[in-house]
């Protein structure tokens, strides 16, 4: 008699603006590069809206705000410098959002496992999560360069789920932006959006399956989705 293994349900989190508040360090690094290049720093209130699609996109947006365009070779050079500076200051001001650890504990007790799917490069994601003391809690930490595709391509999420030993039919995405919501929809995976992250428009604009205002609300939202989509 053979038995069929059923993987545990899996929560896949975005990182910046979802698990961790990283905008201060991301923007500080952007401005360090811009000022080194003789360009104007971007005020935080303006720059925070540029965060969310990865460091290279952030650099491009910072350059554009200065009416500067560079070729791909120069952009790659600046990106290398950006990563070196950022990883040296990975958690100067970055912190987990309130309630993250408590929420992970509650989900873990209920049999859930966890993964990260971010547009941060994988090395930076691992370094940050290690600095914040939670890297070991994730079965997979996948970044923009982990696969040959990245968010919002749904395959980035599907490959993350596979790397974590999960099943797309038993997975839920948690993110803060249109990129995350589109990624989940493209992968046909339910998605919960948080309201406290980095988005230029309110997350309800992008029609996630559920919206939460804090990590304290996440368990109930996931339970509701699990019942609707027969996840857990």
- Residues annotated as catalytic are 14
Distance of CA 173 to the CA centre of its chain: 10
List the 191-194 sheet strands across, edge first. 140-142, 113-117, 10-13, 171-175, 191-194, 210-212
Cα–chain-centroid distance for residue 171? 16
Which DSSP helix (H) or strand (E) runs through 174?
Answer: strand 171-175
Cβ neighbours of residue 159 closer than 8 Å, sequence gap 6 or more? 142, 146, 147, 149
DSSP-assigned letter for residue 9: P
H/E stretch holding 175: strand 171-175
Cα–Cα–Cα angle for 226, 227, 228, nearest 5°? 95
């Amino acid at each position: 008699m053979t038995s069929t293994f059923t993987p545990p349900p899996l929560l896949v989190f975005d990182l910046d603006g979802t698990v961790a508040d990283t905008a201060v360090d991301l923007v500080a690094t952007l401005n360090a590069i811009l000022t080194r290049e003789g360009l104007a720093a971007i005020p935080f209130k303006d720059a925070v809206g540029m965060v969310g699609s990865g460091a290279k996109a952030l650099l491009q947006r910072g350059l554009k705000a200065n009416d500067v365009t560079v070729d791909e070779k120069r952009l790659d050079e600046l990106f290398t410098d950006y990563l070196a500076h950022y990883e040296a200051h990975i958690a100067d001001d970055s912190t987990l959002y309130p309630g993250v650890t408590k929420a992970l504990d509650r989900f873990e007790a209920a049999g859930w496992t966890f993964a990260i799917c971010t547009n941060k490069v994988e090395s930076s994601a691992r370094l940050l999560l290690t600095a914040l003391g939670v890297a070991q809690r994730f079965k997979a930490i996948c970044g923009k360069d982990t696969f040959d595709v990245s968010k919002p391509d749904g395959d980035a999420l599907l490959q993350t789920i596979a790397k974590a030993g999960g099943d797309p039919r038993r997975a839920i995405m948690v993110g803060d932006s249109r990129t995350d919501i589109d990624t989940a929809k493209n992968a046909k995976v339910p998605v919960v959006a948080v309201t406290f992250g980095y988005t230029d428009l309110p997350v309800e604009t992008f029609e996630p399956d559920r919206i939460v205002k804090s990590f304290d609300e996440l368990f109930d939202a996931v339970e509701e989705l699990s019942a609707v989509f027969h996840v857990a």
